[in-house]
Structure 1
Amino acid sequence: MLSKTLKEETKDLHVALEKAMVPMIKDIRAKEDYVKVLELFYSYFGGLEKKVDTVGHLNLPDYHLRRKKEAIANDIVSLNGTLPALTPDQHLPDITNKLQALGALYVMEGSTLGGIYISKMIAGQLNLEDGKSLSFFNGYGDQTESMWTSFKSSLEQLVVEPGEQAMVIQAANETFTRFKNWIDLKATG
């Protein structure tokens, strides 16, 4: 199964990204701190979505529901933040075909699973009421698990050849790596 192989083959880079992100999330003490975290996601995921859109139709019937940029933008605006520029292409993974796009989407869709826990943590740290300003990290709400299962099922149907699977895995790994590098760059800049 591709989804199981993807999880195994991206594990180390996924963990490296989490090690860069988790301390930032735990250190959120004010809305401005939270906005900075959202800005990282907005710039990176917004840039990724733009690149994914250039490859054309992905045969994901619910792709329009899987967009992240708008939810992040709504959260930033609700906190009186300003939307940052999107991550420049040279800091994003190569996405020139549908397989690479699916690898990048694997990373973005996977973020919804951890987002459930992150949203609870942030809500507690900032006393955010009724999930306000947490639409991105709340993912699909009660539908998060079923949306993840649906995405993995789509991957299994769309990517069957070993060479295609390798390309999806490589793109997912590059997406994790480039996101961590972006976080590191913004932390030092």
Structure 2
Amino acid sequence: MSATGPVIGPETRRQGALMQALRARTAALHAATEALPLMRDLMAPEVDADIYRAYLGALARPYRLLEPHLHASCAPLTLERMGVRERLPALERDLEALGDEPMPPPPADAEHLSSLVANQAQALGGLYVLEGATLGGRVISQRLRQNLGAEADRLPFHFLGTREDRSPAEGWRRFGAALEDEVSTRGHDPEQVLTAAVAVFGLVHRHLGGNS
């Protein structure tokens, strides 16, 4: 999977250009992640509670590292403007309900992330990945409820959300507009945003693939 892709230049700072570039730059990782055995099992009609628990456990390991680091790298007002909120407590609550034992992220990942996300521009790229996961989580939640049937009513869905929750699509649009405004008004280097998004997505991909 190549980290190369469209490069943002002065002529492409139109509204929506950065979000388009982020989608294009992370497209290969997105497709590769969907093709992972764990993700295929999660979306299959034969999914069960053990697969759901394995998915949340695999996702929690990078989340325990990423979310605190990315949030600490941004000013609180920036997070508020972008509509970013903590998702890790909901993930931990679901895992506790499923009887999963917390596993701390490897120290090497913490050191690696500190070098990859060392400023706010890079943190914005990482937040793009986590906020995108929130949007994708609604799709996963709906498929799980469909395939699990009555068993889904006995499982916790605080992290992924439920069908009764308001659609996150509007929140995603607001996030994208706020991210682009932040990059533009603060003079951040868009290429740093793009590169960090690929790096953070890669970290999540490795954990979901069992290569932590």
TM-score range, shorter chain: 0.7 to 0.9
Taking the aligned partners of 1:35 and 1:182, their CA distance within structure 2 comes to 14
Deviation (angstroms), 1:92: 4.2
Distance 1:22 1:185, change over 3 A: closer
8 Å contact from structure 1 (residues 92, 179) kept in 2: no
8 Å contact from structure 2 (residues 138, 161) kept in 1: yes
> What amino acid is aligned across from residue 182 of structure 2 in structure 1?
L
Task: Give the structure 1 partner of residue 156 of structure 2.
Answer: 133
Taking the aligned partners of 2:83 and 2:25, their CA distance within structure 1 comes to 27
Cα deviation per residue 1:45-73 (whole Å; 9 max; x = unaligned)?
12101221342416121568521211111
Q: Higher mean Cα deviation, 42-51 or 88-97?
A: 88-97
1:75-94 correspondence to structure 2 within 5 Å: 75-87=94-106, 88-90=109-111, 92=113, 94=116
Task: Give the structure 1 partner of residue 42 of structure 2.
Answer: 25
Task: Give the structure 2 partner of residue 120 of structure 1.
Answer: 142
> What amino acid is aligned across from residue 38 of structure 1 in structure 2?
L
Distance 1:29 1:135, change over 3 A: same
| Match status 1:151 vs 2:175 | yes
Distance 1:8 1:162, change over 3 A: farther
Q: Tell me, which stretches of 5 or more residues in structure 1 are unaligned?
A: none
8 Å contact from structure 2 (residues 82, 179) kept in 1: no
Cα deviation per residue 1:57-103 (whole Å; 9 max; x = unaligned)?
16121568521211111111222222222354146472111111111
Q: Which has the larger radius of gyration?
A: 2
| Match status 1:3 vs 2:3 | no
Task: Give the structure 2 partner of residue 182 of structure 1.
Answer: 207
Deviation (angstroms), 1:162: 8.4
Q: Higher mean Cα deviation, 101-110 or 50-59?
A: 50-59
Taking the aligned partners of 2:123 and 2:136, their CA distance within structure 1 comes to 21
Distance 1:155 1:111, change over 3 A: same
Deviation (angstroms), 1:125: 3.3
Give RMSD over aligned pairs: 2.7
Taking the aligned partners of 1:80 and 1:125, their CA distance within structure 2 comes to 22
> What amino acid is aligned across from residue 73 of structure 2 in structure 1?
V
> What amino acid is aligned across from residue 42 of structure 1 in structure 2?
A
TM-score, reference length from structure 1: 0.84
8 Å contact from structure 1 (residues 106, 172) kept in 2: yes
The share of aligned pairs that are identical, in percent, is 24
Q: Higher mean Cα deviation, 159-168 or 31-40?
A: 159-168
Q: Tell me, which stretches of 5 or more residues in structure 2 are unaligned?
A: 1-16
8 Å contact from structure 1 (residues 3, 152) kept in 2: yes
